[in-house]
Structure 1
Amino acid sequence: MSSLSNEFAKKLELVEARRFDSDRRIEHRPERPVKSVKPLEQSLEVLISETPSPQPPPINEAYLQVAESVKSTLQGLSTLFELLYQRTQIYPFDSSLEALPSHVKKWTTDVPNLHSTFKNVVLHCRVMMPELLKRLSIEENKVTWCDSQLEELNNAWCVGLCQLLVAMDSICGTIAYAPSPGEETKQKLCGALEQGCTVIKDLDKTFATRWAVESRFPTATKRICCVGTATSHCLSRLVEDDAKRETTQPTVRSVRSAESYNPFDETSDVESVADNAETKKLVFSSIGVDTSDLVTSDTDREVPSVPANSSSTSLCSKSESISDQLMMDSLKARVSALESEKESHLVDLSLLRRKLANLGGKEAG
């Protein structure tokens, strides 16, 4: 019995030792990484790896394929640009160009033609006239009846005509920039016209004094008297036209100011007055004087209550008076033009009568 119990105890210890060793090996066994298995991806990878790569096409076929792709790209771009063009005609507004008004076309053709013609005339006068005027003045000063006063007037007349050519050249140079809407161009044109008007006034005074002396000479024939009187009248009409232009120029300026009038400027004026009041208040308070009552009284005095529609009413009445004034000035200019035409016809008629009388005298003789 004792031997059996000892043998059973040994076997039990051996079994426990084996179980302990197996448990210890399981605990110390290294962990392997777990791989995610995706059968679909694995199958695709297998198929791709097993599928052979296609052979590249020949060089000629490759060129044809590139040309086909470029052709389709160009067709797509052409369609895109056509659609963009149609879109600009529809949205956001119709962008098709309209015909210019007739007066704009006339302005764009008349101004270059006027400038070209005027430039040729002025260039010819600037080159030829000074020398001719100088020679003419020398010949007029050589006559026996020319005294010192007449010689001085002849020289002043020659200088005045040269100044007139310079003024015409300045006007011609300004007309070249007349289509530009800049305010500086308008001021230059007005300045050139004023310079020409001043020269014409001086010429009128000089020729009037000169003609008063020449017309009393016994050598003054009827023909020279007729031409001299017509020249004097022509200069007088030029001076009158310049005076009308000078009276019309402030009217045009008032029209521009009326067109550029902005009723919202009144608010800015009120704000500027309020800012000035605040400035005064700060200045007086900085020196220790309380002038709040004075400042408020100043603002009340400087900003009177104005009706809402007074500015528009005054603007309408002002524009009506300006339009009436412009119409009156145009009618006066038309009357003066008709009078000058009448005088020129009378001069021509007198010359024709004198020629007929001379022919009749020759036939009778």
Structure 2
Amino acid sequence: MAYTLELDDLEDLARGAALLGTGGGGDPYIGTLLVAEELRRGRTIRLIEPDEVDDEALVIASAFMGAPTVVIEKIPGGGEPVTALRRLERHLGRKADAIIPMECGGLNSMVPLLVAARTGLPIVDGDGMGRAFPELQMETFGVYGVAGSPMAICDERQNVTIIDTGDDNRSMEWFARGVTIRMGGVSYIAEYPMSGTDVKRTAIPGTMTLALRLGRVIREARESQQDPFQALIDYLSGTIYEHARILLEGKVVDIERRSADGFVRGTATIATFDGATKVELTFQNEHLVARSDGKLLAIVPDLISVLDAETATPITTEALRYGQRVRVIAISTPAIMRTPEALDVFGPRAFGLDEDWTPVEKLAPL
């Protein structure tokens, strides 16, 4: 059922989206401030379920693209994703009827909310990743037959490029990545123009509401002096993200991070407080794999997130620091992301990892 997002919902939604962002998707803090300002000005954001979208409606995905570390240095003004949307509409010769998040993680949970607030368009409660992924073709929209282009890319100076590679979404990503690098490492995009029928067939439903509720679960557990991690695990068990596991509690003992080719790449090592066990995380914007002494603990597309050990506040890959006390949590992905078609697009081998995907509930059984 459709509902209106309130100002008081934003912090909870940002917290839950950072969890689902698996360390990537950008820090939602800046986006939260931008969206909050729009709501204070009296603008509204209406979320609708995929089933409420007319079959013939035009729905366009909205997002930022690039290295999350760059967003910290190049703070958006807020108009960039709206400009991208309007230029894509002009190219298509048709106005959008609704927008949908590209991904439900981090800053990219806030960018479409900003567009919704500024344009008055409803936002579909769902997305194309169910988490955050670093590349544009890694979306369930594309997995199940929707072309990502034509797409529009805008920078902070309102420069706009249209990319049209037909149904070749991998080429779309390659061209868009090059343009984004030349725009300074971050851009704002409108992509995957699709019908309401396509949305119902290819989107992961309810992920924005899920992010909101996960953030609320964490906050309410802390306020009632309950264990927020157990509260998260209990809540997720009743959702399409059914399985959640705490892989390790300890502190960050090593972090290596660099911006290259439009991504943030690196590794983080977390050790138990006695130093007896270590988990190494490999990331490309988002955490891709967790290993301990060579043993696989969790692997993409299942979610791997790092949270503050006491507050359960999610920590993005660009915010990881030596000495932080954390817990590493792994969460299973929905079934729509576990099909052979999906794993071919965003499974381990799509990231150059020389191993097959194994469900987290098998790698780390209870």
| TM-score, scaled to structure 2 | 0.19
The structure, 1 or 2, with the larger RCO (C-alpha pairs under 8 Å, 6+ apart) is: 2
| TM-score, scaled to structure 1 | 0.19
Q: Which has the larger radius of gyration?
A: 1
* More strand by percentage: 2
